[in-house]
Amino acid sequence: MFPRDGSAAVRLTNARGQPVDPVPFLVVCSLAFLVSYSYGPIYCMELGFSLPAALGISTGVFVLTSTLAFRRLVWTTRPDLRGEIAAEERLRGIVYAALVAVALLGLLALPLLVE
């Protein structure tokens, strides 16, 4: 895992030992941290949780998201199968992502409706 040439770079490898690009994983983890700690405590406290409980829930969401991202983007990825993705599949992925974003916005609006 650590290079023998004395450099400080760490290379991520998948379950088969193949090197994997770490950038997608780092981006997902950074966004998970940003979203879980920006919105999580505020909404949890609005739903009646205490600050320590809200921070615990946010930490749990961040750890779960990071673990799933590591499994998907590093551990089980197969760099040798890279290829072009068909336009229909890319569009389907964009539509699914938009539906998830709308659902998350709906969940974030729940505290406004609970009053």
3 Cβ contact list (under 8 Å, min separation 6): 9, 11
The domain ranges of the chain are 1-83, 85-115
pLDDT in tens, 85-94: 788 988 998 9
In this prediction the pTM is 0.70
User: What is the C-alpha to C-alpha distance for residues 56 and 44, in angstroms, rounded to an integer?
Assistant: 10
User: What is the C-alpha to C-alpha distance for residues 29 and 85, in angstroms, rounded to an integer?
Assistant: 24
- According to the model, what pLDDT value does residue 31 have? 93
CA-based radius of gyration for the chain: 18
For the chain, the average pLDDT equals 85
Q: How confident is the model at residue 2 (pLDDT cuts 50, 70, 90)?
A: low
- According to the model, what pLDDT value does residue 43 have? 86
